[in-house]
Amino acid sequence: MAIDLDSALYANEHIVPSIYEAAAVPDCWDRAVELVTDFVDCTQGFVSMSYLTSRRAEVVASSGFPDEMIERWEERYGVNEWVMLAAGNEPGLVIHAADTVSVDQMLATPMGQDMLAPLGIRDGVGIKMSDSPHFVGALSTYAVDPIPAHALDRLRFLAPHLARGLAVYQRASMQAARAGALAAGIDALATGVALLTDDARVLYANPAAERIFDARDGVSMRDERLALARPEATRDLARAIEQVRTPDPAQPRRGLFRIARRSALRAYHAMVSPAVPALLDAPVGSTVLLWLTDPESDPVPDERTIATLLDLTPSEARVVAAIASGLSVREHAERAGIKEGTARWTLKRALAKTGARTQADLVRIVLQSIPSPPF
């Protein structure tokens, strides 16, 4: 590999930093690809991820290609013969199209006819940036004129940085996906969940927790901090956090307590547990999770949920929801406007489908079919 000193200095000063910046800030990939494409004397380029098992592909960033062409590449050409060829190569290997196939052969492929020929492209160079057996991460650049040897050397010079940059980006993307999935799951819980610092500052609260705070019935938020109406609840919270921080090996790593309400309603049930490392980029050493349940709330899932989880018909789910909510078969029949005999026959079918022997057994199955906090 022979790269002149001026080119090396330029790359180290401008292009290499842009690659690592893009690894940390994905929006910067477009600028990095633009710089690399220009540096190797090409007019178009893109960084792509092709997943071999699912036959799915995505373009991380591009330069010089119209958006509609990039979308077509993702839909039609993301796992093509060139990608499969690259899958067998070592990371960092630069593949020059002119050394592999003729211009006519390249342009005769579906991708060549669809994406390269319309832009006058007659040469290309690519580099595999990943070492995973499950996907191919690659930089592909294209030019109207033949790509000179010094441009290939420049790309080889950048190869280790491109490979490391993509690896960092991939790890960060997977971490963000895990955190997003976890946050979405917590947001969907009927249980209130709040992320607290040790001094009770609220960093995050799911919708269920926000509803509890907004009710201001013994617990609320004030100036972004958890506010407990009664001193004993404040002491209990501090004790629960301390229990999580200095756990007894013989006891579960959690702190349980009650939060009395100003109203006559039953107290909230509360639990403090260690923070989840992937949750919202939380500093685990100084944060905890507060779980809140309202014993006055209806724990019975809606009819659609019951039908889906227990594989029941809509009519079966309605009678099951009614029984789980405390209604008798007769009361359900009256409210639904059906005969009591019909309701009993429908309930009998639901019992058979769920494997329940009694109505009490059926209620237990329903209540256990929805997620609950680890109290």
Over residues 79-94, the pLDDT tens digits come to 877 777 777 777 788 8
- In tens, the pLDDT along 26-79 reads 899 999 999 999 999 999 999 998 888 888 889 999 999 999 999 999 999 888
Contact 264, 161 (CB under 8 A): no
How large is the average pLDDT for residues 224-251?
89
The domain made up of 189-293 has a fold known as Beta-Lactamase (3.30.450)
Let me know if the fold of 5-183 is the same as that of 189-293.
Answer: yes
Instruction: Tell me the C-alpha distance between 16 and 160, whole Å.
Output: 10
Instruction: Tell me the C-alpha distance between 139 and 70, whole Å.
Output: 14
* 41-74 b/e (C-beta count within 10 Å ≥ 16 → b): bbbbbbbbbbebeeeebebbbbbbbeeebbebbb
Whose CA is closest to 10, among 127, 148, 154?
154
The identity of residue 24, as a single letter, is A
Whose CA is closest to 362, among 371, 353, 370?
353
Distances (CA, A) of 149 to 99, 102, 152, 205: 11, 17, 5, 57
The domain locations on the chain are 5-183, 189-293, 303-368
Confidence category of residue 300, pLDDT binned at 50, 70, 90: confident
Query: Which H or E element spans position 237?
Result: helix 231-245
Looking at residue 101, its pLDDT comes to 85
What are phi and psi for residue 242, nearest 5 degrees? -65, -35
What are phi and psi for residue 36, nearest 5 degrees? -65, -45
Whose CA is closest to 1, among 130, 109, 157?
157
67 compared with 173, residue with greater pLDDT: 67
How many whole angstroms from its chain centre is CA 304?
A: 25
How many whole angstroms from its chain centre is CA 315?
A: 36
Looking at residue 190, its pLDDT comes to 79
User: What is the overall mean pLDDT for the chain?
Assistant: 88
Confidence category of residue 281, pLDDT binned at 50, 70, 90: low
| Correct CATH for 303-368 of 3.40.470.10, 3.40.50.300, 1.10.287.1400, 1.10.10.10 | 1.10.10.10
- In tens, the pLDDT along 250-275 reads 777 788 999 999 998 999 999 999 88
Whose CA is closest to 33, among 19, 49, 23?
19
Looking at residue 309, its pLDDT comes to 86
The domain made up of 5-183 has a fold known as Beta-Lactamase (3.30.450)
- In tens, the pLDDT along 115-159 reads 999 999 999 998 888 877 788 888 999 999 999 999 999 999 999
